[in-house]
Amino acid sequence: MQAESVAARRFDLICLGRAAVDLYSEQLGCRLEDTASFAKYVGGCAGNIAIGCARQGLRVAMLSRVGDEQMGRFVRETLVAEGVDVSHLSTDDDRMTGLAILGIRDRDTFPLLFYRENCADMAISPGDFAPEFIASARALLVTGTHFSTPDTDRVSRTAIFYARKHGVTVVFDIDYRPVLWGLTGKAMGEIRYVESDTVCARLQSVAALADLVVGTEEEIHIAAGVRDTLGALRVLRGITAATLVLKLGRRGCAIFPGEIPPRLEDGLVVPGLTVEVLTALGAGDAFMSGFLRGWLEGEPLQRCGYFGNICGALVASRHGCSPAMPTRREVDAVVARAGAVDRPDLDTALDHAHWAATRRGRRPELLVLAFDHRAHFEALADACGAGRERIVAMKALIAQAVRRVAATEPGRVGILVDSRYGRGVLESLVGEGLWVGRPVELPGSRPLVFEAGINVGLEIRRWPRNHVVKCLVRYHPDEPPALRGRQEGDLFGLFQACRETGHELLVEVVLPPELPAWTDTLARALGQIYDSGTFPDWWKLQATLPEAWAAVAAVVEGRDPACRGVLVLGLDASAETLRRNFLAVADLPVVKGFAVGRTIFGEPCGDWLAGKIDDAALVDAVAAGYRQLIALWRQCRQP
């Protein structure tokens, strides 16, 4: 087949193998018996590599199976969100998705339990794919575990047969886990090497069919049946003409496209990067992702190894496998700054780039109904002579109005709602595709005080990952240094907690009315918050003059081009005031929408609490006001 037709194929890579769920211990330096909580990620060698390669800009498809249950849907949804094609990720009606439980005792010791008996991805069948699917890719990745049983061995060899027939490059990741071959007890999943003539013979037969073989020293040893690394490489060279890649951990990698030299250092050795290793788990899958980016894009082998080393080092310094996989932008940044990034794991710019590039759910327009008010609703209920317990029912009715509007604005509607009176709302709207923000500040506090107290990080850890942390801070760039420093410190602590828990952060800045404000005041406030180390995903802001908005946009776009955007707040503004604000931001791409509440629900909620209107009238009035504001926003944004 001509090279031109190969390059034009639909996929760069098809990954055949394990697609499972990893439960990673959140406690470090302890036995698995002492672990208290786990983080849930997509796992499995092939699944990790699929995500890693997709983040490197390759067109990737997953060939595997998952169960017809929540974990299977999690794997599928995550792969889709990462840009991996799942047209051949089958759903198994009878088997459950594979599971691995992992601990981190120290950088070299990681207790590992596999729950994979009769799991979905080991039941993949030759009937799950056709020759045409394999032929639609430039390369096929197969992994060692899927040669450990007769059925998966047959499936993998069928895929290799189709690949070789259609000129598809075959990539073999040895991926040796003795426990998955039945060679150790079930509690010994971290053991990386057990001698086995059966495993050796099977892996050699696969290597003979491959164009690229990648493994650690232990994996090269088991594939060759020789405990000496150079000797093992020579054995493999006698079996296969494939390029052999030896992963050396902290030392980098060694690449052997041809004859094996007398010494390892005489091969093409690419030094590794220095990082503080959290765990080696996942680093090999990351290496493969980086290496394949270069390999499939025709880069020199030295550069392929460098890409692989960068990816492996970054994942070794992070928690988890698939979520830690670096993006193409991160790798390119390390390459561009070669010599200037001594410790990529300590580089805040790389961390921010990773966070920004791996966030889910891009929303080019966001139309938010903010009813997270607590003190305002309490005062309104008191003024109307209504019991505060009615606030709960009132917020539930507002949520009905939101649901009604969301049906005609899919993917654009959001809410800001609290836990104090809106917990039922949060529970009722689960899985409906709304953008959800929740406040953490104590209403009216200045300096900033968190409603949950100093343990706000523990509070947000209980929240769903897709809920956005919203924090209102009454902040002025010219307020007393002690006050400003305290507020900046508390915001930065919240920002760090959000990064740790994986939540996005929205910061609402309200200028205290008793201090003078000029055209540049709000922009200077944002600049000082950035200077303190806090980089919100969203801003919620109020300004009245076009010049003030332009200054704000310049700060946000200059300091954090990856910011999700700015939302215009209301503060009980009239429709005419909001119209002027909407017009002032019409030409600013960084402004993505609005987050307005009292302008929409203020009057009807007061009438409902006073008994002047019934439930249906409240829902109708809020929905109508919400739609009117959306129409006004769109009208002002038109060129």
Across 139-143, average pLDDT:
98
Contact status, residue 148 vs residue 263, Cβ threshold 8 Å: no
pLDDT surpasses 90 at 274: no
Cα distances (Å, whole numbers) of residue 454 to 154, 373, 450, 460:
57, 21, 7, 12
Average pLDDT, rounded, for the chain = 94
Instruction: Grade residue 2 by pLDDT with cuts at 50, 70 and 90.
Output: very low
Instruction: Grade residue 341 by pLDDT with cuts at 50, 70 and 90.
Output: confident
d(CA 198, CA 178): 12
* Predicted TM-score (pTM) of this structure: 0.92
pLDDT surpasses 60 at 1: no
Distance of alpha carbon 506 from the chain centroid: 18
Across 621-625, average pLDDT:
97
Contact status, residue 223 vs residue 236, Cβ threshold 8 Å: yes
pLDDT surpasses 70 at 603: yes
On the 0-12 / 13-18 / 19+ scale of CB atoms within 10 A, 607 is middle
d(CA 91, CA 116): 16
Strand order in the sheet with 169-173: 85-92, 60-67, 11-16, 137-143, 169-173, 212-216, 243-247, 253-256, 268-270
Looking at residue 5, what is its pLDDT?
A: 63
Looking at residue 6, what is its pLDDT?
A: 67
Count of residues making up the chain: 639
Instruction: Note the pLDDT tens digit of each residue in 15-56.
Output: 999 999 999 999 988 889 999 999 999 999 999 999 999 999
DSSP string across 151-173: HHHHHHHHHHHHHHHTT-EEEEE
- Enumerate the domain spans of the chain: 3-358, 366-637
Q: Which residue is listed with tokens 């493994």? A: 215
Question: Spelled out in words, what is the top-level CATH class assigned to the domain 366-637?
Answer: alpha beta
pLDDT surpasses 50 at 272: yes
pLDDT surpasses 50 at 85: yes
Instruction: Note the pLDDT tens digit of each residue in 221-250.
Output: 999 999 999 999 999 999 999 999 999 999
Instruction: Note the pLDDT tens digit of each residue in 420-468.
Output: 999 999 999 988 999 999 999 999 999 999 999 988 999 999 999 999 9
Contact status, residue 542 vs residue 510, Cβ threshold 8 Å: yes
**3-state DSSP helix/strand/coil % of the chain, to nearest 5:** 45, 20, 35
Beta strands in 423-574 (DSSP E): 435-439, 467-474, 505-510, 538-541, 565-569
In 62-113, which ranges are continuous DSSP H helix?
A: 70-81
Q: Which two tokens stand for residue 160?
A: 């290799």
pLDDT surpasses 80 at 370: yes
Across 308-315, average pLDDT:
94
Q: Which of 26, 32, 192, 44 is nearest to 111 (CA)?
A: 32
Q: Which of 378, 432, 440, 373 is nearest to 400 (CA)?
A: 432
d(CA 102, CA 24): 5
Instruction: Grade residue 340 by pLDDT with cuts at 50, 70 and 90.
Output: confident
Instruction: Grade residue 557 by pLDDT with cuts at 50, 70 and 90.
Output: very high
Instruction: Note the pLDDT tens digit of each residue in 95-122.
Output: 999 999 998 887 777 888 999 999 999 9
Instruction: Note the pLDDT tens digit of each residue in 513-556.
Output: 999 999 999 999 999 999 999 999 999 998 778 899 999 999 99
pLDDT surpasses 50 at 4: no
Q: Return the amino acid letter for 638.
A: Q
CATH topology of domain 3-358: UDP-N-acetylmuramoyl-L-alanine:D-glutamate ligase (3.40.1190)
Looking at residue 360, what is its pLDDT?
A: 87
Looking at residue 361, what is its pLDDT?
A: 83
pLDDT surpasses 60 at 69: yes
Torsion of CA 14, 15, 20, 22, to 10 degrees: -120
d(CA 271, CA 284): 15
d(CA 281, CA 613): 60
Other Cβ atoms less than 10 A from the Cβ of 130: the count is 12
pLDDT surpasses 50 at 3: no
Phi, psi of 85 (to 5 degrees): -70, 130
State which H helix or E strand residue 483 sits in: helix 481-501
pLDDT surpasses 70 at 390: yes
Looking at residue 110, what is its pLDDT?
A: 81
Instruction: Grade residue 342 by pLDDT with cuts at 50, 70 and 90.
Output: confident
44 Ramachandran zone, left/alpha/beta (phi>0; psi -120 to 50) = left
CB-based contacts of 180: which residues, under 8 Å, 6+ apart?
Answer: 114, 116, 145, 148
| DSSP 8-state code for residue 16 | E
CB-based contacts of 125: which residues, under 8 Å, 6+ apart?
Answer: 151, 155
Strand order in the sheet with 38-43: 38-43, 20-28, 99-104, 112-115
Contact status, residue 83 vs residue 57, Cβ threshold 8 Å: no
Looking at residue 605, what is its pLDDT?
A: 96
**Helix-helix angle 229-239:197-207, to 10 degrees:** 50
Looking at the DSSP bridge assignments, the partners of residue 509 are 473, 541
Looking at the DSSP bridge assignments, the partners of residue 569 are 595
Instruction: Note the pLDDT tens digit of each residue in 451-462.
Output: 999 889 999 999
